[in-house]
Amino acid sequence: MPRTLVLLLVTLLSTTAGESVWPQFRGPGGLGIGNGKPPVEFGPGKHERWHVALPPGHSSPCIWGQRLFLTALDQGKLITLCIDRNDGRELWRAAVPTERIEPTHRIASPASPTPCTDGERVYVYFGSYGLIAYDVTGKEVWKKPLPPPVVEFGTGTSPMLAGGLVVLVCDQDVGSYLLAVDAATGAERWRHDRAEFRRSFSSPFLWSHDGIEELVVAGSLSVRGYDLADGRERWRSAGLARVSNATPTAGDGQLIVSSWNVGGDDGARVTVPPVDEFLTANDRDLDGTLGKAEFPAGPLRDRYSQIDVDKDNKVTRAELEITRTMFAQAENRLFALRPGGSGDITASHVAWKTNKHLPYISSPLWYQGRVYAMQNGGLLSCYDAASGTVQYVAERVGAQGDYYSSAVAADGRIYIASQKGTVVVLAAGNELKVLARNQMEGQVFATPAIVDGIIYVRTEQGLWAFGE
């Protein structure tokens, strides 16, 4: 048998067995759970397999077999990179033909969405361009240009593969929608209007339960469940912040949803006065709209670009009404949903909830019957996944700062990286036990990947592989 065929069969067998695969944001099933025995202590020069310099970007590693995929911004071009997982060699790179790079938050990146792959093709989304698919050798298979999202902070959501579809959430300040295209051809299979939703940055999640699969999207003010086949809405539950950043997860038969944003906590709630009152008090030129200079100093002026939904530098009565409603209905909380509902399940299917010490960007992790949630500042909370019973709350892990990366787990341990570049390793369990604090060179925004006992950590300077 030819050697190339033998290698192909070995790769197919290993991936079929569930090994050597981290095919999307947060890995298999989007659950953040890897395999093998990654090291506890690691860093530059310690348990280092290899490291390679990379152009900047916040996308996380996507892995199939010996190929690792990432995106980056290199000298003004948005590129997809394929890297050899054995030694970090660059196998190929491809640039998308963007005319203009989308605006982003000052610490964000236009290369934030994580690619996904089925081993035959890799699927990439850039807010500045749209969707594009390559085969594993870097040859373009199809492309689907999409309008840049109407949000000044850039794109955060990652595409997801399910049922032969590439699914993408396009939540923005105007014209939000949910899109599914054929993975083989890029042809649009369905599109679901989400015009009532405003900006959010979380990724779609496939909830498998009771022999069915439901597409789950957390957005502004509510989380929704959709039929994967046609995009039809099945259920909805209120109780989210006005902007959703974290991606849902699942375990013990329940869906775990987390959402926090400024102005949604009791005692620190941002409110908008009645619209007529606000316009009368601030519309100095009496044109019926408000420019930024007409907004009083404070939290509303600070969010002028969000209130100005269509970005025309004029806030209208309708835009003020939208903002007032969203701030009034916003709720910061972490909660679990039971399966099997239809329609509005807010009052019927919430198994447990908490509204204290919530993550901002970092997504919650279900692992071995527990839910872990990392609050900015390095404050970790742990709950019994089935009941919501608190195991510990807001315990300090000894790594301060913000957390944009999400937790991952393997071999009875939790791994989570702070923006400052400290990867904290904890023992899974009902008590906080920090096993190591591993300092990387550079900041970390991307979520690590764990495959075959090797942990891959992307920093602002490059990509590192650590394994014993």
Which helix (H) or strand (E) element contains residue 463? strand 462-466
Give residue 2's pLDDT: 37
pTM of the model: 0.94
Instruction: Write the pLDDT tens digit of every residue in 316-326.
Output: 999 999 999 99
Residue 268 — very low, low, confident or very high, per pLDDT cuts 50/70/90?
A: confident
Question: CA dist 305 to 99, 309, 426, Å?
Answer: 24, 7, 40
Which helix (H) or strand (E) element contains residue 327? helix 317-329
Helix crossing, 317-329 with 275-282: angle to 10°? 130
Residue with tokens 């085969």: 135
Give residue 55's pLDDT: 97
Quick check: 362 and 416 in contact, CB under 8 A?
yes
Residue 413 one-letter amino acid? R
Give residue 13's pLDDT: 40
Domains and CATH numbers, the chain: 21-261+330-466 (2.130.10.10), 275-329 (no CATH)
Q: Report the candidate in 204, 233, 239, 203 with the shortest Cα–Cα distance to residue 220.
A: 239
Instruction: Write the pLDDT tens digit of every residue in 175-216.
Output: 999 999 999 999 999 999 999 999 999 999 999 999 999 999
Residue 381 one-letter amino acid? S
Task: Look over the chain and give the mean of its residue pLDDT values, rounded to a whole number.
Answer: 94
Quick check: 86 and 70 in contact, CB under 8 A?
no
Describe the strand order of the beta sheet including 233-238 as a list of residue ranges. 205-209, 212-218, 222-227, 233-238, 343-344
Instruction: Write the pLDDT tens digit of every residue in 2-20.
Output: 333 333 333 344 444 445 9
Give residue 19's pLDDT: 58
Instruction: Write the pLDDT tens digit of every residue in 33-71.
Output: 999 999 999 999 999 999 999 999 999 999 999 999 999
Ordered DSSP codes for 38-90: --SS-BTTBSEEEEEE--S--PPPEEETTEEEEEEEETTEEEEEEEETTT--E
Which helix (H) or strand (E) element contains residue 319? helix 317-329
Q: Report the candidate in 388, 422, 142 with the shortest Cα–Cα distance to residue 258.
A: 388
Q: Is 144 helix (H, G, I), strand (E, B) or coil?
A: strand
Quick check: 351 and 339 in contact, CB under 8 A?
no
Give residue 267's pLDDT: 84
Q: Report the candidate in 425, 448, 438, 419 with the shortest Cα–Cα distance to residue 372.
A: 425
Give residue 99's pLDDT: 87
C-alpha neighbours within 13 Å on the C-beta side of residue 124 = 35
Q: Report the candidate in 201, 190, 187, 197 with the shortest Cα–Cα distance to residue 220.
A: 197
Instruction: Write the pLDDT tens digit of every residue in 277-289.
Output: 999 999 999 999 9
Give residue 184's pLDDT: 98
Question: CA dist 266 to 330, 331, 334, Å?
Answer: 10, 9, 15
- Answer yes or no: is pLDDT of 219 > 50: yes
The tokens of 20 are what? 């050597």
Instruction: Write the pLDDT tens digit of every residue in 431-466.
Output: 999 999 999 999 999 999 999 999 999 999 899 999
Instruction: Write the pLDDT tens digit of every residue in 92-148.
Output: 999 999 989 999 999 999 999 999 999 999 999 999 999 999 999 999 999 999 999
Quick check: 214 and 226 in contact, CB under 8 A?
yes
